[in-house]
Amino acid sequence: MILDQLIAYVQLDDADRARLVALHRELQPFFPKIAERFYEAVWANPGAASVLQNPAQVERLRVTLIDWMSTGLLGPYDAKFNEKRSRIGRVHVRIGLAQQYMFTSISVVRAAYLDRIAALYSAEETILVVRAVDKLFDIELALMLRHYQLDSEEKLVNRERQMQADRIAAMQTMTAGLAHEVRNPLNAAKLQLELLERRLRKQSDDPKIIDPIGLAHHEIQRLTEMLNEFLAFARPPDLRTQEHDVVAIARHVIELERPLAERTGAELTLQDAPESAVVRIDPGKVHQVVQNLVRNGIEAAGAGGHVTVSIVVETSALHIRVADDGTGIPDEIRTRVYEPFFSTKEGGTGMGMSIVHNFVAMHGGKIDIASGPRGTLIDVTIPRSRS
């Protein structure tokens, strides 16, 4: 727990705690006056006062402040204390209180404490009590300010995801137009090739004449499959959701991909999965997501490697996790894995992970990738309910 780390870091020991408890007895009668002084300072600052709405709210906050001062001195410094301080931090972030006011607010309370300490204690004991108070306030600040950092990190991640979504949307528009332009001449070429083949077979069965047509058929089929991938990315069909067992999908994918794993020399297993996990999803799209991730994992693991699929059910979400013990994804590639047409595989279209990203986003989910020299873990989160 972060609180334990902070206590150890500032070295808040038993002697400090005893001094804080003793200080509480002395300061408790003055808490209302300190709270009044605190809100006088808030009202005097337009930036800090901007988050206050009405006198009723201020009165509620005054009561909360008195409780904060009391529990801060008394403790105990346990999980409940940690959660209460964290909740205060989250509220400050939610209402938009600038973080600099955390420091100035603590400064007002600290000054009030110091005035009383100087009047109550000898010079020698004052130093010890003030040191204990400083340690406490450092912990208080660290716990509450931590949520500003978490909020900034979350906003950064969301901004990067939005930029990525915008790039993908632009690529989808371009790809849809390209696929439309290619499909018609490709179909025409396929039809003419079939007519030509029928005419030639009426005249000759010479392999030198017939075999090149088979090769052309193969290449047209390959282009058709590639075009279908482009269209699946550019114009994915609408979600057709139903209650479906995700564990059953994972088992089916594993059975389908086991021959590939055996040819590669990798071990493919399902682990840490419940008997079933029924969620409202589009089964076909989730099947394709899992299949693409498993294939990538098998290729990454290679001979002697391992690929594991796990399903974890939480209250609000379901996780599909595919892990391999390959060499990992280099940093310069990790930032481009969802980029359409980007591939490190020979002959790859670069559409697989783009389609995965698209299908997961359609479910309101997200993808997290953790990768290093010992392998890669891809965690797909799908909400169990969608607003």
Q: What is the pLDDT of residue 68?
A: 87
Query: Same domain, yes or no, for 144 and 169?
Result: no
Query: Same domain, yes or no, for 222 and 331?
Result: no
Q: What is the mean pLDDT of residues 316-339?
A: 88
Token pair of 42 as six digits: 């808030």
Token pair of 265 as six digits: 């020399």
Q: What is the pLDDT of residue 253?
A: 95
Helix 100-120 with 14-27: angle, nearest 10 deg:
80
Query: Same domain, yes or no, for 153 and 166?
Result: no
pLDDT bin (cut points 50, 70, 90) of residue 156 is low
Last residue of a domain, one of 157, 188, 216: 157
Query: Same domain, yes or no, for 15 and 35?
Result: yes
pLDDT at 369 over 60: yes
Query: Same domain, yes or no, for 223 and 296?
Result: no
pLDDT bin (cut points 50, 70, 90) of residue 268 is very high
What is the rounded distance in angstroms from the CA atom of residue 361 to the CA atom of residue 325? 26
Q: What is the pLDDT of residue 347?
A: 55
Lowest mean pLDDT among 102-106, 131-135, 273-277: 102-106
Query: Same domain, yes or no, for 20 and 119?
Result: yes
Whether residue 285 contacts residue 363, with contact meaning beta carbons closer than 8 Å, is answered with yes
Q: What is the pLDDT of residue 381?
A: 96
Q: What is the mean pLDDT of residues 108-133?
A: 91
pLDDT at 354 over 90: no
DSSP 30-92: GHHHHHHHHHHHHHT-HHHHTT---HHHHHHHHHHHHHHHHHHHH---SHHHHHHHHHHHHHH
pLDDT bin (cut points 50, 70, 90) of residue 153 is low
pLDDT bin (cut points 50, 70, 90) of residue 149 is low
Query: Same domain, yes or no, for 198 and 259?
Result: no
Q: What is the pLDDT of residue 150?
A: 67
DSSP 91-144: HHHHHT--THHHHHHHHHHHHHHHHHHHHHS-HHHHHHHHHHHHHHHHHHHHHH
Give the domain range for residue 270. Answer: 242-383
Query: Same domain, yes or no, for 279 and 348?
Result: yes
Last residue of a domain, one of 206, 234, 262: 234
What is the rounded distance in angstroms from the CA atom of residue 290 to the CA atom of residue 298? 12
Average pLDDT along the chain: 84
pLDDT 10s digits, 286-322: 999 999 999 999 999 999 999 999 999 998 999 999 9
- Helix (H) / strand (E) element for 315: namely none
Q: What is the pLDDT of residue 197?
A: 83
Q: What is the pLDDT of residue 196?
A: 85
Query: Same domain, yes or no, for 187 and 103?
Result: no
More confident of the two residues 243 and 151: 243
Q: What is the pLDDT of residue 308?
A: 96
pLDDT at 160 over 80: no
Whether residue 230 contacts residue 224, with contact meaning beta carbons closer than 8 Å, is answered with no
Lowest mean pLDDT among 76-80, 172-176, 183-187, 316-320: 172-176
Query: Same domain, yes or no, for 124 and 250?
Result: no
Last residue of a domain, one of 132, 157, 182: 157
More confident of the two residues 1 and 66: 66
Query: Same domain, yes or no, for 190 and 290?
Result: no
Lowest mean pLDDT among 178-182, 270-274, 325-329, 380-384: 178-182
**CATH number of the domain within which 52 lies:** 1.10.490.10
pLDDT at 126 over 80: yes
Q: Tell me the HSE value of 58 on the side-chain side, using a 13 A CA sphere.
A: 17
pLDDT 10s digits, 199-255: 888 887 777 778 888 888 888 887 887 777 777 666 777 788 999 999 999 999 999
Query: Same domain, yes or no, for 211 and 266?
Result: no
Dihedral (CA of 227, 232, 234, 236) sign: positive
Burial class of residue 132 (count of CB atoms within 10 Å of its CB; 0-12, 13-18, 19+): buried
pLDDT 10s digits, 341-353: 667 766 566 677 8
Strand partners, 267: 306
Query: In the chain, how many domains are there?
Result: 3
**CATH number of the domain within which 292 lies:** 3.30.565.10
pLDDT bin (cut points 50, 70, 90) of residue 386 is low
pLDDT 10s digits, 6-36: 899 899 999 999 999 999 999 999 999 988 8
